[in-house]
Structure 1
Amino acid sequence: MKKKILIRIGSLRHGGAEKVLVTFLKNLPKDKYEIDLLLNLHSGKYLKEVPSWVNILYLNKGEMITTNRIQDLPVKAFRVLYQKILKMFPQILYQFILKGKKYDIEFAAIHGMRDEILNSPLKFSKKLIWIHNDLKKTEFHNYTDKEFRKFFGFDKIMVISEKIKQDFETIAITEEEKDKIVRIYNPLDTKEILSKSKLELKNYNFDKRAKTFVSVGTVFPQKGFDRLLKAHKRLLYEGLNHKILILGDGYDFENLKNLKKELGVAGTVTLLGFTDNPYPYFKKADFYILSSRYEGFPTVLFEAITLKKKIIATDVSGVREMLEEGKLGLIVDNSENGIYEGMKKALQNDPIFDTYTESLINYNMPFDLENSVKIITEIIDTI
């Protein structure tokens, strides 16, 4: 008999957790599980990649509303109120939207779905959660020790880095709670990355006279693109010619466009928006730069490692683990100045980047798509 699984996530927009979830679903055996994927908002670039055998349900339909335009406010308010009511009275959700279905496993695909799963009226289902962020960072200031303790209501807590695992182990009281925590590398299809990187570049021409730094991510403050642009401006002022290419979209996109204009860097910074295949840009660029203020385990770095790129990354959760304490790329201070100093080294042809290239050539990936999927399915099968 197939195991019945409910998976919850906000939407399938172009974020790391969303991409990882869809990669996982695409590599599951379809004859083994019966999966309902419940979205708060039926939107996102990855919707089309969800396997046809996965049943997609949703609370609201339409694109995410990121503005406060008067004409958008009624829809925005309705969505918030509707989701709040269903969160307060989960019996309504389970009876009318989920049609009274009984699930063997309820799975929160992101930490933000913690309470929705823990408050499920299905008391006998096994509960699973996937943590993609470093919740100890100040940006998640509401995650006090008391809030952390709530996660131990799950039967298994899957985390994506050693740092996050240690944070949870520190809060754990018993050995049984520690046993709930398991670190799993995000499923990443390296063959697909290498194959897609060979496809044709669209709507961007690389300048052979200037080194290009590429960065990929959802455009919101976490990713630190504002700091990247400010560091870029400082380097240009010092006469260090180069280009910045940012791939991604998000609610902060207009603010970033305005900052680009304010700094007067329209000729050297390109905001290309979202692309479903960033890998040819990775491949062609001189450097990959991660300017994030915080992360859980930035999968994008493994993509850059797969393509043997010279990497500069801020010292956020997961980076030291991924770059082997600086053996595979330059780790800089988590600040605008750190980004500036790292880029300056790159532009001044610091020989340390040659050592990174040599290390990457001989590097064996510590993660494997098949292995990651196998570990998660073993948890699902034995939980």
Structure 2
Amino acid sequence: MTEKKKILIRIGSLRHGGAEKVLVTFLKNLPETKYEIDLLLNLYSGKYLSEVPSWVNILYLNKGEMITTNRIQDIPRKIYRVLYQNVLKRFPKLLYNGKLNGKKYDIEFAAIHGMRDEILNSPLKNSKKIVWIHNDLSEVKGYTNDEIRKFFGFDKIMVISEKIKATFLNQAQSEAERQKVEKIYNPLDTEEILAKAEQPVLNYNFDITCPTFISVGTVFPQKGFDRLLKVHKRLLDEGFQHKILIVGDGYDFENIKKLKSELGVDNTATMLGFTDNPYPHFKHSDFYILSSRYEGFPTVLFEAITLKKKIIATEVSGAAEMLNGGEIGLIVENSEEGIYNGMKKALESPEYFTTYSENLKEYVMPFGLQNSVDSIMNIIDSL
């Protein structure tokens, strides 16, 4: 029997983000017999912890919920966490000899781009190193060309869309570097989405007399929920009756909630917070709206496509690829005006979306779960 490959995977936490969900879906579909996996979290928290298979060994630097506020009583804990993590980042041998018991890994895997330096500075010089890029870094503040170049220190750079692939290929300085970049579609479980969508809707009453636009995602500025609410207000003022449902949580939650009240749309826009199962809400909404400023490959569109929703999406990385070049959903300009035009079209001429719905019926997604898992296993096995 061949010896199991020893793999260290690093990620911040298992909170409710796309990259976290994708990682857990990947782990759930791996054969237990083939790999020995240590999953190292900076913070032992998040909704997906319970979904990690029991054979994966979870380790962590700190425990407890993420601290997103600056309340006086939270500051000492926040400072301690930051200092502790920074010390381990600067002196990785402390981490590898301590928490990791001097274990030697065959593969070290940064599950998000933010873990780049932690993996590249590993004291294990013989391990093969992989990074999984979920965002279009050319759009992320602080990622200059020099910063993006540093990723070529990895043996493999897994990217999730054509746009991200192009960003890295543009920075590659040799054929060997170009060969490091591999596009892998995110592993996502269609069967699970369809089954969960059949469950009852919790904490929300749908109004059948009024169209509902749903948007699901972590509440960060990146997701553009501020733009969505401003457009909602503008359309209401023009007499277009409709409702907005935002599902998700994140550090910008209170700011967006405050904006909702300032705009005077508390009766027509609902912020539901995080739910383990947003799919019944998807199913009963009339339109799915992606208002993001930037994305890597918006996983949420995969969910909307699976549930055959009428989709409006800003022109971000991955949107055209996911929506088959605009055949199965409306792609609008990445601006407040673009979102306004898309939503107005949905409210003024709902029949315009019939073609998308027809195209969706016939559409077969190229990104199957097993296909993605096999592709990532092939990369791991080839190193």
TM tier, smaller: over 0.9
Which whole-Å CA distance do the structure 2 matches of 1:47 and 1:186 have between them?
19
What residue number does 2:92 align with? 90
Kindly state the Cα deviation for residue 181 of structure 1 after the two structures are TM-superposed: 0.4
Which whole-Å CA distance do the structure 2 matches of 1:352 and 1:203 have between them?
31
Which whole-Å CA distance do the structure 2 matches of 1:202 and 1:114 have between them?
39
Q: Deviations over 1:188-218 (max 9, x none)?
A: 1001111111111111110011000001000
Give the residue type in structure 1 aligned to 2:122: S
Q: 1:29 and 2:31 equivalent?
A: yes
Give the residue type in structure 1 aligned to 2:70: N
Q: 1:47 and 2:49 equivalent?
A: yes
Q: 1:190 and 2:187 equivalent?
A: no
What residue number does 1:333 align with? 333
> Identity, % of aligned pairs?
74
What residue number does 2:112 align with? 110
Q: 1:142 and 2:142 equivalent?
A: yes
1:149-298 alignment, distance < 5 Å: 149-298=149-298
Q: Deviations over 1:298-336 (max 9, x none)?
A: 010011001110000001111011112211111111111
What residue number does 2:5 align with? 3
3-state SS, counterpart of residue 367 of structure 1: coil
Q: Deviations over 1:55-107 (max 9, x none)?
A: 00001100000000111100000101111100000000001010100000000
Unaligned runs of 5+ in 1: none
Which whole-Å CA distance do the structure 2 matches of 1:349 and 1:4 have between them?
56
Kindly state the Cα deviation for residue 52 of structure 1 after the two structures are TM-superposed: 0.6
Kindly state the Cα deviation for residue 350 of structure 1 after the two structures are TM-superposed: 4.4
What residue number does 2:363 align with? 363
CA RMSD of aligned residues (A): 0.7
Give the residue type in structure 1 aligned to 2:85: Q
Kindly state the Cα deviation for residue 349 of structure 1 after the two structures are TM-superposed: 2.0
Which whole-Å CA distance do the structure 1 matches of 2:265 and 2:145 have between them?
43
TM-score (norm 2): 0.99
Q: 1:38 and 2:43 equivalent?
A: no
Which whole-Å CA distance do the structure 1 matches of 2:309 and 2:296 have between them?
21
3-state SS, counterpart of residue 261 of structure 1: helix
Which whole-Å CA distance do the structure 2 matches of 1:318 and 1:364 have between them?
17
Which whole-Å CA distance do the structure 2 matches of 1:343 and 1:216 have between them?
16
Which whole-Å CA distance do the structure 1 matches of 2:116 and 2:71 have between them?
31
1:112-127 alignment, distance < 5 Å: 112-127=114-129
Q: Deviations over 1:20-43 (max 9, x none)?
A: 000000000011110000000000
Which has the higher mean CA deviation after the structures are superposed, 345-354 or 169-178? 345-354
Which whole-Å CA distance do the structure 2 matches of 1:257 and 1:68 have between them?
18
Which whole-Å CA distance do the structure 1 matches of 2:167 and 2:254 have between them?
35
Give the residue type in structure 2 aligned to 1:344: K
TM-score (norm 1): 0.99
Unaligned runs of 5+ in 2: none
3-state SS, counterpart of residue 304 of structure 1: helix
Which whole-Å CA distance do the structure 1 matches of 2:342 and 2:144 have between them?
33
Give the residue type in structure 1 aligned to 2:184: I
What residue number does 2:310 align with? 310
3-state SS, counterpart of residue 16 of structure 2: coil
Which whole-Å CA distance do the structure 2 matches of 1:233 and 1:157 have between them?
42
Which has the higher mean CA deviation after the structures are superposed, 351-360 or 49-58? 351-360
Which whole-Å CA distance do the structure 1 matches of 2:164 and 2:207 have between them?
40
Task: Say which of 99, 102, 112 aligns to 1:100.
Answer: 102
Which whole-Å CA distance do the structure 2 matches of 1:45 and 1:343 have between them?
32
Give the residue type in structure 1 aligned to 2:324: E
Which whole-Å CA distance do the structure 1 matches of 2:182 and 2:351 have between them?
38
Kindly state the Cα deviation for residue 351 of structure 1 after the two structures are TM-superposed: 3.2
Kindly state the Cα deviation for residue 352 of structure 1 after the two structures are TM-superposed: 2.6
3-state SS, counterpart of residue 86 of structure 2: helix
3-state SS, counterpart of residue 66 of structure 2: coil
3-state SS, counterpart of residue 136 of structure 1: helix
Which has the higher mean CA deviation after the structures are superposed, 349-358 or 325-334? 349-358
Which whole-Å CA distance do the structure 1 matches of 2:284 and 2:61 have between them?
41
Moved over 4 A (4+): none
